[in-house]
Amino acid sequence: MTHQPPSVVCAGRVYCDLIFTGVPQMPVLGQEVFADELALHAGGGAFITAATFAALGVKTSVAATLPAPPFDGLVRNALEKADVDASLCQDSATGAQPQITVATVFGGDRAFLTHKTGAAVPEISFTDAGFTHLHIGELATLAQQPDLLDKARAAGMTVSSDCGWDADVIGAGRDLTDLIEGLDVFLPNASEFDGLIASGLDQGKLPLTVVKLGDQGAKLWDGQSWHSAPTTPVEAVDTTGAGDAFNGGFLSQWMAKAPYAQCLNRANNCGAATVQHVGGTGGLHVLKADPQTAIGATVK
């Protein structure tokens, strides 16, 4: 059998996620809260979207700087287990602090405390690599490394990006309009999108834009009008990474030139599979068995 090379590369920050569940209340200053469970998972939008692509049968590579030891081994093992190519990943600089996200799950949602370090993506070239699509895990990475878009275009690739919550990014909508306009697909959630619009993002220059609405489904802007895609909520155990799994589901169908309704349905299925398990990739085994089994989603 001929080995099929990766056709998609997902670029962005990769973290070790420390996920606290069974939390009786959110912590407040001067008090201590005890969680019932703690789990460690590889995280970050680039990894979770790549793992979703792989679960759906799309060969995918991740381009990222890995967290510092001792968490790099956990992430490499997760990439291998998810059948995601890691040849474009590099180790963190000697002495770098670990890149970690602490996620506290409470009341059907979660809050993050994150430490990031160094460049999100190493210096890479897409020329003659055979990739057809670049997905960027968070808008901050594209803003900091805009040459990613230029390199992908030079290689004839289509490009998409999530937004990701970053207060500096959300507050710079006007300044980011031209960068976002250069994408083929933009995939923020509702809070991120509303914040960008409030800070001056020009809706008239948006590319194909899919806004994730949590248990209300999603809406899609095709350049002329909005199209709504409601969904049936499922019981959420952990919503970490649900939006990133949504991205993989949508893009896998968009790349196949499927109708938008089909793209959104697959996206919702992927989000639903994820939220019913702890960790951003905990439910992807459901997609490997049957991508249509998880109907509905609660995605943030």
Task: Assess if residue 300 is contained within a domain.
Answer: no
Q: Which residue in 196, 194, 284 sits closest to 246, CA to CA? A: 284
Model pLDDT, residue 20:
92
Is pLDDT at 13 greater than 80 in this prediction? yes
pLDDT band with cut points at 50, 70 and 90 for residue 107: confident
Better-predicted residue by pLDDT, 234 or 16: 16
Task: Assess if residue 84 is contained within a domain.
Answer: yes
Q: Which residue in 157, 144, 135 sits closest to 116, CA to CA? A: 144
Is pLDDT at 143 greater than 60 in this prediction? yes
Worst-scoring range by mean pLDDT, 25-29, 270-274, 288-292? Answer: 288-292
Supply the CATH number for residue 72's domain.
Answer: 3.40.1190.20
**For the chain, percent of residues with pLDDT exceeding 90:** 68
Task: Assess if residue 282 is contained within a domain.
Answer: yes
Q: Please tell me the total count of domains within the chain.
A: 1
**For the chain, percent of residues with pLDDT exceeding 70:** 87
Tens of pLDDT, residues 78-97: 999 999 999 999 999 999 99
Structural domain that includes position 236: 9-289
pLDDT band with cut points at 50, 70 and 90 for residue 2: very low
Model pLDDT, residue 128:
84
Model pLDDT, residue 182:
96
Is pLDDT at 276 greater than 80 in this prediction? no
Task: Assess if residue 296 is contained within a domain.
Answer: no
Average pLDDT over the chain, rounded to an integer: 88
**Section 164-177 average pLDDT:** 95
Model pLDDT, residue 238:
57
**Section 209-218 average pLDDT:** 90
Model pLDDT, residue 76:
94
Task: Assess if residue 294 is contained within a domain.
Answer: no
Query: Can you tell me the distance from the alpha carbon of 174 to that of 198, in angstroms, rounded to the nearest whole number?
Result: 9
Q: Is 134 left (phi over 0), alpha (psi -120 to 50) or beta?
A: beta
Is pLDDT at 112 greater than 80 in this prediction? yes
Model pLDDT, residue 109:
79
Model pLDDT, residue 202:
96
Task: Assess if residue 4 is contained within a domain.
Answer: no
